Each structure stands twice: as structure tokens, then as C-alpha cells.
Amino acid sequence: MTTQVKPSSRERLLEAAATLTYQGGVNIGIEALCKAAGVSKRSMYQLFESKDDLLTASLQERAAAFVAGLLPAADDGRSPRERILHVFEQVELQAGAPEFHGCRYLAVQIELKDQNHPASQVAHRIKAKLTSFFRSEAEQGGARDPDLTARQLMVVFDGASARAGIQADNLTGLVTPTAEALLDAAGIR
């Protein structure tokens, strides 16, 4: 007989925050978060100083999985061009899922508008990591201007994610060719 370990109150709150804020935005109420987690408000405040702290912790906890779901494995033998395109292929795949609501880290930055908010800072670090990946690969791939190429790729990434997240566009066959055109223009072969 296998016994399952019930997630802790902290784990349930982090999961509720991740799910509810991704589906409905950061303005979800504390009562809804606590109800979804099956945790009292008193318990929530014993574990987290505020809803902002809970949101920040939830974003931070999911950061590694977000990055792992997009970036190729280090030293996977592919060219820098193929490694960059891998990211956009992943976005296309993820955007096809009915539960896709865009990039949670971009959404948080847009919704909060305060770049000094701790959750915005987590989101900024994640986006900076992706930009750094693009820049490094662009440089290794011989881009004429790796910084500009990385910024352009982020515009494509964020724009595609946002449009797919609001169901304004289907990314299949759109975002990867767009990234390819940018790579061609940058001289990345």
C-alpha cells in the first residue's frame, strides 16, 4: 500500500497562487487563494508576510521549470541558431495548449507596473536570463550586433506570448519563421 504525502500548507498556497494568478491575474483576492489552497488566512499570514510575498515566492519557485521548459540543454551539440529556434519552437508548442495564458513573468510585469515590486523583480530576472541566453547564442552564432539581436528576439518572444495568451493569434507556423527571419538579418547561420 502506497501512502501519499499531502502537500504542506505552504506548498498548497504556492500552487494556488501560481494557478489562480496565471488564470486570472495578480489581483486575485486572499480569500480566493486561501480557499483554493484549503488554508486559513491566519495560516497564510503565518507562512507569508503578505499576498505580495506569496506571489513573489510562487514566481520564484516556478522559475527553474519555466526556464527548463524553454531553453535547450547546455552543450547539446546544436548550433547557436538551432538553440535559439528551440526556444520559439517551445513557445509554439506551449501556446497550442488550451490552458496557455501567455508568459506568466511578462503578465506580472505588465499587471503590477511597479518594477520595484518584489514579484516584478523576480520576473525581470527571469526575462533577463532569457535575454542573456539569446545574446550569448547570437554572439556565438556570429551576429553583427548580439545585443540588438537579443532585444529583437525578446520582442518577438514577448509579443508572441502575449498574443497567444489573449488568444488573438495562433503561433503555429508564425513565431519560429519570424525568429528565423531575424536570425537571417542578424547574420546568424
* Res 147: pLDDT: 98
Among 4, 51, 14, 9, smallest CA distance to 30 is for 51
Q: What domains can you pick out in the chain, each with its CATH number?
A: 51-186 (1.10.357.10)
Q: Which helix (H) or strand (E) holds 86?
A: helix 80-95
Amino acid at 115: Q
What pLDDT does residue 172 have?
Answer: 87
d(CA 119, CA 117): 5
- Give the pLDDT of the chain (189 residues) as one tens digit per residue: 666 778 899 999 999 999 999 999 999 999 999 999 999 999 999 999 999 999 999 999 999 999 999 999 988 999 999 999 999 999 999 998 888 999 999 999 999 989 999 999 999 999 999 999 999 999 999 999 999 999 999 999 999 999 998 888 888 899 999 999 999 999 998
- Three-state DSSP string of the chain: CCCCCCCCHHHHHHHHHHHHHHHHCCCCCHHHHHHHHCCCHHHHHHHCCCHHHHHHHHHHHHHHHHHHHHCCCCCCCCCHHHHHHHHHHHHHHHHCCCCCCCCHHHHHHHHHCCCCCHHHHHHHHHHHHHHHHHHHHHHHCCCCCHHHHHHHHHHHHHHHHHHHHCCCCCCCCCHHHHHHHHHHHHCCC
Please report the pLDDT score of residue 4 as a whole number. Answer: 76
**One-letter amino acid for residue 132 of the chain:** S
Amino acid 1: pLDDT: 60
What pLDDT score was predicted for residue 2?
62
Instruction: Let me know: does 86 contact 183? Beta carbons within 8 Å.
Output: no
Residue 64 CA from chain centroid, whole number: 10
Which amino acid makes up residue 172? Answer: T
Cα torsion 11, 161, 27, 124 to 10°: value is 70
